[in-house]
Amino acid sequence: MKNTGLLIAGILSLIGGFFAWLNPFAATLTVDLLAGWFFIFSGLFLLYSAFSVFNGQARGNATLIGIIYLLLGYFLIAHPLQGIASLTVLCGVMLLFAGIFRLTAAFKLLQGNTRLVVGISGALSLLLALLIFSNFSTAATVTLGMFLAIELVSNGISLLFWSSAVKDKLQP
């Protein structure tokens, strides 16, 4: 059946989300290490491309960015606790700016229900940023893992619903 892949992906995502929820520190550490390895591989491929595809100023820029990616990846892997703290700060700052942007858009650009929904979303982003920065020592160890758990559960549920919708369309 065409929906089997969606069904399996949904179930696996739910299981992963459940385990991330049970141990958010381990999930946070996993996010840090995965990010580190992705930066390392991206840096290596960017350096390869710098010397096989680019020339002149583009080669210099790609080389510099590739080296920065390698160093960032090394930092995240070699110093996971500091990496977790750094990534949590980035998440907090991102939430802060996203909240300010959404609230500004809600009050200056939008009308009706859209204004309300975007305004609530912006307020929630600001609240999450406040929660991260108000208790940073605890937040740093679990925030990324909880974000991963929420994403995996949300993804799993949506894939299960999608699987069901595909199944319903396949039946005569």
Q: Which residue reads 């979303």 in tokens?
A: 121
Task: Give the pLDDT confidence score for residue 165 in this predicted structure.
Answer: 75
Helix ranges (DSSP H) in 53-111:
56-78, 80-108
Alpha-carbon distance 114 to 88, whole Å?
Answer: 30
In the chain, what percentage of residues exceed pLDDT 90?
A: 47
Question: Given this model, what pLDDT does residue 111 score?
Answer: 85
The answer to whether residue 45 scores a pLDDT higher than 80 is yes
pTM score, whole prediction: 0.71
What is the average per-residue pLDDT within 66-94? 92
Residues 8-42: tens digit of each pLDDT: 998 999 999 999 999 999 999 999 999 999 999 99
The helix/strand/coil state of 23 is coil
| 56 torsion bin: left (phi>0), alpha (psi -120 to 50), beta (else) | left
Residue 137 vs residue 60, higher pLDDT: 60
Cα gap 88→155, rounded to integer Å: 22
pLDDT at 74 > cutoff 80? yes
Is the model's pLDDT at 121 over the cut of 90? no
pLDDT at 162: 80
In the prediction, which pLDDT does 147 show?
86
For residues 149 and 117, give the distance between their C-alpha atoms in angstroms, rounded to a whole number.
24
* Band (171; pLDDT cuts 50, 70, 90): low
